[in-house]
Amino acid sequence: MINNDVLEMVKAKAAEWLTDVYDAETQAEVKRMLANDDPSELIDSFYRDLEFGTGGLRGIMGAGTNRMNIYTVGAATQGLSNYLKKEFVNLPEIKVAIGYDCRNNSRLYSETSAKIFAANGIKVYLFDDLRPTPELSFAIRELGCQSGIILTASHNPKEYNGYKAYWNDGSQIVSPHDENIIDEVQKVKAADIRFNGDESLITIMGAEMDNKFLEKVKTVSISPEVVKKQKDLKIVYTPIHGTGVKLIPAALRAFGFTNIYNVPEQDVVSGNFPTVISPNPEEPAAMKMAMAKGKEIDADVVMASDPDADRIGVAVKNDKGEFVILNGNQTALVFIYYIISKRKESGKLKANDFIVKTIVTTELIAEIARRNQVEYFDVFTGFKYIAEVIRDYEGQKNYIGGGEESFGFMPADFVRDKDAVSSCALMAEIAAWAKDQGKSLFEMVQDIYLEYGFSREKMKYVVRTGRSGAEEIEQMMVNFRNNPPKELGGSKLKIVKDYETLIEKNILTGEEHKINQKITSNVLQFFTEDGTKISVRPSGTEPKIKFYFEVAGKLNSRDEYYQLEQAADEKIDAIMKQLDL
């Protein structure tokens, strides 16, 4: 049943969108919703304001306060402009860079934002066409910009669009600037948005920036001699209708690879993503066509990027001849193993080199770092925290790689966000290196497990909708904090890390230590005596609570791999049942 008070509030908000502040097309759309006997769409479009969060905006496109449109995007850009003018008041010129992906309305929103920045006296560098997110991050640094934005909803379904804001180091914005920008955005009303700027302040970027970026991408290569020997490696790549089509094949060719196969249907740039339900390389359905092409040509590696080309999906051929997708932990593991191994082998590994992973990512990465005397940092989920570590140690320590379990990796610091362009090129080099040693990427993963220990990871979402759902999720976190499980999967609980209090406690000895993080976060982690790790955190953007499971083991030979994998899966299932998930 619809609450009449909510409906009246929504109608009043909708009526404000029927004034001359809004264009005729928007007013017509609002009138259509008001006239509809079913008020569901009207309520969903106006019951709240689309929140500008620490990562920017993301939402369904359409008219309304809870939708992505030129007015919600405009308010974000006006608020960001206001903050930039306060923060950089002493600069003679404030500069921003703008990129956009393949999504419907991305170009419209980017051009609208460019004019708003210009109307506020801010110099704008706007890409002439869709470009990968990592190139936008690179351009901010290359041009000495104070900020930048990209219009993208990453791997969300076609109904969505989004707006990500960046700071002068090319990273997504962190504290205190994130909260300060949110405050400025919340003050902006539609009538405050300056839509019509001086277009002489807008410079269009094109091939020149692409070429500079690709030259930097080439520096990511560690073993160019291996690429020369294996230049005809069979590579399948798909952009899944997105921006990767612009630069990833070019990056592979720049590395020296000559045998690149595409999926023609998915090279079609389209915000409707006609061949997939969701353009997410984490999902087997999104990789299906590329893996079929891989099987057809007997590829050495199959790769995909999401619509804004920051996430990388990798599929490898197993010992049964089937292509299987590496999970995000395995992908990051392969990258870190290769980078450290090759740098060590060539004498390039230095005492001040370091890597970064997120706290929910596999502990095997930390093990590889420890055994090779490489410093590593654990950070909260999100590449802005990886970038923050780089910024903190700029000029003192040397970043050599970092990643997280959600299919993101950043192999160099000339980009300060997930980078599928550089990552696809480097992953192809890793496949060439494996082939040069007479093994497949799949066998390479197994060999890492043989050397450093086995791990198996899974993630589980628990969705709870509405206000009652949010309260239930909150109570789940309270219960876990106050009554942690005594054992998990038959192994005693040993360590609890609470990132809200920043306290690590050894349950067996009672010892406590301070966790080294700048800020707190509503995350709990449980570690058992046998190396099992469980991370629990509510989603910051959706009505979900996320559980990350990692089970450790010992692999004695490749022949034991499937048996060990099955045992780990059974153990994770048992723990899920124990936690009533």
CA–CA distance, 248 with 334 (Å, rounded to integer): 19
| 176 upstream amide cis, omega within 30 of 0 | yes
Q: What share of the chain is helix, strand, coil (3-state, %, to 5)?
A: 40, 20, 35
The residues, ordered by sequence, that sit 6+ positions from 360 with a Cβ below 8 Å of its Cβ are 381, 404, 405, 523, 535, 537, 548
Q: Which of 45, 106, 147, 154 is catalytic?
A: 154
Kindly tell me the sign of the dihedral angle through the C-alpha atoms of 307, 161, 62, 71. negative
CA–CA distance, 255 with 216 (Å, rounded to integer): 11
CA–CA distance, 86 with 180 (Å, rounded to integer): 11
Q: Look at strands 123-127 and 202-205 and give their pairing.
A: parallel
3-state secondary structure of 175: coil
Active site residue 535: no
DSSP 8-state assignment for residue 62: S
Cα separations (Å) of 379 from 207, 352, 382, 492, 523?
35, 19, 8, 26, 12
Per this entry, what is the length of the chain? Answer: 581
CA–CA distance, 289 with 275 (Å, rounded to integer): 9
Active site (catalytic) residues: 154
